[in-house]
Amino acid sequence: MMSAEKKHMALAICTGCDIGNCIDADKLTDAVREAFDGISCISHKSLCSEAGLEELRKFTREKGVDRLGVAACSPRVKTAEFSMDGIYVDRINLREQLAWVMEPGEEDTQMCAEDQTRMVLAKLDTIKENTPYLPEQVYSDVLVVGGGIAGVSAALEGAAAGYRVHLVEKSDRLGGYAGRIYKTPYNEIDLSARTSEVMSHPGVEVHLETSIESISGEPGNFFVAIRNSDSATLKVGSVVTATGWKPYDPDKLSALGYASPRVKTLEEFEQSVQVEQPPDRVLFVLCAGSRDENHLSYCSSYCCGAALKQALYIREKNPGAEVYIVYRDIRTAGFQEEFYKLVQADDAIFMTKGVIKSVSDLGNEVEVVVGESLLDEQITLVADLVVLATGMVPNTTSDLKLQYRLGEGLPELEYEFSDSHFICFPYETRRTGVYAAGTVRAPMDMEMSQEDGAGAMMKAIQCIECVKRGEAVHPRAGDMSYPELYMERCTDCKRCTEECPFGSYDETDKGTPLPNPARCRRCGICVGSCPERIISFSDFSINSVSAMIKAVHVPDEFKEKPRVLVFVCENDAYPALDAAGVHRLRYSPFVRIIPVRCLGSVNKVWISDALSHGYDGILQIGCKPGDDYQCHFIHGSELTEQRGENLQETLETMMLEPERIQTRFVEITDHHEIQEIINDYVEELELIGPNPFKDM
């Protein structure tokens, strides 16, 4: 962190790791001294070594440095080494994104190093002192919604970690779906022991037959209005929602004969077997509506195991019974394989691979025709009862009654589950401080739900502690900056409130944004969306990026020296660029790279600034959008695509070719594509010719 008063800016150049062989560090120092009056510079042949760091610390102490540019390796490495108390440090990536990808000793490579260094120093010159957002009061209690396995597990783990938990369950008992199960032979969860433990735990307040009337506020300060016989308000710091699942609607499975009284679902059979003797011939249809594009395209992961378990119930209760299991694949992951083998060993349980062709109620029995069997024959089976292994659908989360302008529930994502990023951040939802656990998050069995409850609770606790320190949660964990709005110039256009993926802004009736900084994930999308350019972070603002753009020396002559501004998303695209460096994949020295929090944070004004400054083209590289998205900020990449249309208008107004601005999306592993993307784009630009504003 920086001290209140600006003191002194400095540059430290490392000449190790090929940097010194690639560029002339003395010339770089001269270029920087010319641009920044009074700046102090140092260079070292191995800046991150003990000796290098010692020299750097001495240098910063003696010069009274409060802002330091470190021209060395990528900011993704050696973070701890180059962190210094009281100094705002930014990194100039002269290793992965210059020395390892550009021709050594060339004039163009040297110019690139000088530009990239001036850019970061120009940014350092604009940043403001950061005052973290620290709410006066941060509540440490956690609300858990839903008393099934995941909710009970979350509550017990939270209480064990010393946090007070309010467990709200709308029914009159705990246990959820699992509490209605007859037997659980292949897992070791003692649900009744877990529910008794939670009921008697001094750190958990259980609210049965309780509904939520509203949840308002932000992480650290959520106000939860609940209603049972009385009304009350709970004050909590974060929320775990574990509202569970329901079976897929069997009425949609008429092709599998569900209209017949001789056809039941797994859930219906689980209940009936507790009170009725099972018949002599029972046939299970696995994947009933699952892994089927017309119904649920995913695997619900629990149903194979549940059907095998029910086959055993039948054999226990009616030893003369025969059971048929028709499957497409049997999926019994992990130790459940042993249970599968146990069921297979029963001579009266017949398993056959195939696809159901028809299910016909013949009046006193059901005829099931199975095709595409292992023997490639059509077979006909007859049973007294057919059980459909239907899949899992998450329960609605609208019961959370979130007082957010973007809706009362969690946004339902792919297949209606509410996890916001299955790949990188399980449990995170699009509402900061609200974590999803168990089957409302993803299909899973009881054991996984139990672990999931614990995992989500850890995230909920982490969130409270981050808010206490004024830090962001994932994916910018530890970031202490937050968006500040210069409201005098706000036109109530609602762009920020509508485009914030996390519902961070509420708004007045008039449409004026009301920020909730603790809900913010610091993506900067609102910086990109605001047409009045009044939203900024202390170290990421319209001014700081404009200063970077203008710090580049754009040569007048175009021939062989075009200039390309590249906005690179810090999440996946930047690491991919670094990996291109690690693989020594050469690309053009005409690029000037600006890392951004998200491609959605790019404000239109930076594009016009760059074009007016004489850049010949602008390339934006971000994470892949779409349903199987990689975008860490949900729809930043999609917004970039939408805003692209407006940008084309800007180009038209400036009488410039639309191809000058291009956007590409990559995955973190796409380092080969990065090389191609950059080189192809620069080639294309050379054909288009120079930006006419260059000479003005």
Tell me which residues touch ligand SF4 (CB under 6 A): 483, 485, 490-496, 500, 502, 504, 513, 520-526, 529-530, 532, 534-535
Looking at the Cβ atoms of 348 and 493, the one nearer to ligand SF4 is 493
- The distance of closest approach from Cβ of residue 570 to ligand SF4 in the complex, given in angstroms and rounded to an integer, is 13
- The distance of closest approach from Cβ of residue 523 to ligand SF4 in the complex, given in angstroms and rounded to an integer, is 4
The residue type of 196 is S
Whether residue 147 contacts residue 239, with contact meaning beta carbons closer than 8 Å, is answered with: no
- The distance of closest approach from Cβ of residue 8 to ligand SF4 in the complex, given in angstroms and rounded to an integer, is 31
- The distance of closest approach from Cβ of residue 492 to ligand SF4 in the complex, given in angstroms and rounded to an integer, is 5
**Residue 9: left if φ>0, alpha if ψ -120 to 50, beta else—which one?**
beta
C-alpha span between 229 and 652 (Å, rounded): 64
Looking at the Cβ atoms of 526 and 566, the one nearer to ligand SF4 is 526
Looking at the Cβ atoms of 443 and 517, the one nearer to ligand SF4 is 517
* Termini Cα distance of the chain: 40
- The distance of closest approach from Cβ of residue 574 to ligand SF4 in the complex, given in angstroms and rounded to an integer, is 18
Widest Cα–Cα separation across the chain: 96
- The distance of closest approach from Cβ of residue 496 to ligand SF4 in the complex, given in angstroms and rounded to an integer, is 3
Looking at the Cβ atoms of 495 and 660, the one nearer to ligand SF4 is 495
Looking at the Cβ atoms of 529 and 662, the one nearer to ligand SF4 is 529
Coil/strand/helix, residue 633: coil
C-alpha span between 88 and 665 (Å, rounded): 31
Looking at the Cβ atoms of 392 and 518, the one nearer to ligand SF4 is 518
C-alpha span between 392 and 248 (Å, rounded): 6
Instruction: Report angle CA 510, 515, 517 to the nearest 5 degrees.
Output: 175
Which of 677, 77, 54, 178 lies closest to 450 in space, CA to CA?
A: 178
Whether residue 510 contacts residue 492, with contact meaning beta carbons closer than 8 Å, is answered with: yes
Residue 232 β-bridge partners: 226
For residue 584, give both structure tokens.
Answer: 């020594």
Looking at the Cβ atoms of 155 and 596, the one nearer to ligand SF4 is 596
- The distance of closest approach from Cβ of residue 235 to ligand SF4 in the complex, given in angstroms and rounded to an integer, is 23
Looking at the Cβ atoms of 283 and 523, the one nearer to ligand SF4 is 523
Which of 428, 527, 532 lies closest to 490 in space, CA to CA?
A: 532
Which segments of 293-446 are extended strands (E)? Answer: 322-327, 349-353, 355-361, 366-371, 379-383, 385-390, 392-394, 434-436
- The distance of closest approach from Cβ of residue 601 to ligand SF4 in the complex, given in angstroms and rounded to an integer, is 8
Whether residue 303 contacts residue 309, with contact meaning beta carbons closer than 8 Å, is answered with: no
Coil/strand/helix, residue 440: helix
- The distance of closest approach from Cβ of residue 511 to ligand SF4 in the complex, given in angstroms and rounded to an integer, is 7
Looking at the Cβ atoms of 69 and 483, the one nearer to ligand SF4 is 483
CA 444 from chain center: how many Å? Answer: 20
Looking at the Cβ atoms of 36 and 633, the one nearer to ligand SF4 is 633
Phi then psi for 500, rounded to 5 degrees? -60, 120
- The distance of closest approach from Cβ of residue 36 to ligand SF4 in the complex, given in angstroms and rounded to an integer, is 30
Looking at the Cβ atoms of 70 and 534, the one nearer to ligand SF4 is 534
Which of 508, 448, 466 lies closest to 153 in space, CA to CA?
A: 448
Which of 689, 539, 663, 668 lies closest to 600 in space, CA to CA?
A: 663
Whether residue 679 contacts residue 589, with contact meaning beta carbons closer than 8 Å, is answered with: no
- The distance of closest approach from Cβ of residue 166 to ligand SF4 in the complex, given in angstroms and rounded to an integer, is 27
Pairing outcome for strands 484-485 and 535-536: antiparallel
